[in-house]
Amino acid sequence: MKINRIRPEDHTFTRKLGEISDAPQRINYIGQLPDESLPVVAVVGSRKPTRYGIEVTQRLTYDLAKRGVVIVSGLALGIDAVAHQAALEAGGKTIAVVTNALPDISPRSNLGLAKRIVENGGAIMSEWGEGDDKLVGKWSFLERNRLVSGVSDAVLVTEAAAKSGTLNTVGHALNQGREVFAVPGNITSPLSEGCNSLLAQGAHLAVSAESILEVIAPELILGATTQTKLALGDNPAENTILELLASGLRDGEQLQQKSGLSASDFATALTMLEINGLVKPLGANQWTTR
């Protein structure tokens, strides 16, 4: 794959990087950077998210990407990968900012995801390119974070512990004058401590795509339907499952019991809802709506 090497001021998308502290001299990227001026949100969080963290990241990122927001993250395991995947599923654009010198991709387990990002009109971006390998080390992860926030209008933290590399990205965002959003979490969960602390310190509350767009791009809300409607299935069985999911149920066994459907009828309805893109598996027989 071709590696493009530019100065930050050479492209609309990277221009803001020339204005940050410790601005990069060069930017290397594979794929396509957005040419138009679109809202950009960086989505960051734990490398070992809970089921809740995965669900809220999928939902918020998918909805933002559907509205035309460019999603930026670091291609790491956990929240980063979930955010990139959700943006792709929404048909949106996503940019991965990596620590390694291109064309290498790290972690290797996300190489397939990186290829999908490029194939769908996005890009893999790094401060480093061929010949810069000696400049890359463990410290590069923290250095990379200033670029993640630097190209963005806002940083969204969906799940993070009290002591987390994610908070390093938040620090850069605040220094760069970017908006910071956090998703509230269970006060008994260690992986919600970082988000809840950010909210206590004045971060914007993120409970929906609209709560983020109200701050960074209200015009995208005005162009959308003002009333959210419950998705409808093709028959009463499917509608029953959708209503139960909307009420907060996630566990497959509980959904089947509450629905009053036989095991076979429930399985058929759930399968059709998944095929039609109305529900999404979270793993371990947990489900959510799109």
3-state secondary structure of 207: coil
**Given this model, what pLDDT does residue 225 score?**
46
**Given this model, what pLDDT does residue 226 score?**
41
Give yes or no for residue 227 having a pLDDT over 50: no
Please give the residue that has the higher pLDDT: either 144 or 136: 144
Mean pLDDT of 231-247: 84
DSSP string, 223-234: TS-SS------S
What pTM did the predictor assign? 0.79
**Given this model, what pLDDT does residue 131 score?**
73
The owner of tokens 């990139």 is: 84
Q: What are the sequence ranges of the domains in the chain?
A: 4-222, 236-289
Expressed in percent and rounded to 5, the helix, strand and coil fractions of the chain are: 45, 15, 40
152-181 pLDDT, tens digit each? 999 999 999 988 889 999 999 999 999 999
Mean pLDDT of 185-206: 94
The letter for the amino acid at 159 is E
Work out the pLDDT band at 35, boundaries 50, 70, 90: confident
Give yes or no for residue 139 having a pLDDT over 60: no
**DSSP-assigned letter for residue 15:** G
Tokens, residue 93: 């654009």
In percent, how much of the chain has pLDDT > 70? 94
Q: Before 107, cis peptide (omega within 30)? A: yes
The residues facing 289 across adjacent strands are: 279
- The answer to whether 95 and 12 are in contact (CB under 8 A) is no
Closest CA to 269 of 247, 225, 239: 239
265-279 pLDDT, tens digit each? 999 999 989 888 888
59-89 pLDDT, tens digit each? 999 999 999 999 999 999 999 999 999 999 9
**Given this model, what pLDDT does residue 199 score?**
96
Mean pLDDT of the residues in the chain: 90
Cα–Cα distance between 176 and 22 in angstroms, integer? 11
3-state secondary structure of 159: strand
281-290 pLDDT, tens digit each? 888 888 888 7
Mean pLDDT of 42-61: 95
Cα–Cα distance between 220 and 127 in angstroms, integer? 31
Closest CA to 223 of 237, 207, 210: 210
Give yes or no for residue 210 having a pLDDT over 80: yes
| 236-289, CATH topology level | Arc Repressor Mutant, subunit A (1.10.10)
- The answer to whether 88 and 64 are in contact (CB under 8 A) is no
Q: Helices 236-246 and 252-259: crossing angle, nearest 10°?
A: 130
Work out the pLDDT band at 136, boundaries 50, 70, 90: low
Give yes or no for residue 143 having a pLDDT over 90: no
Considering the domain 4-222, what is its CATH architecture? 3-Layer(aba) Sandwich (3.40)
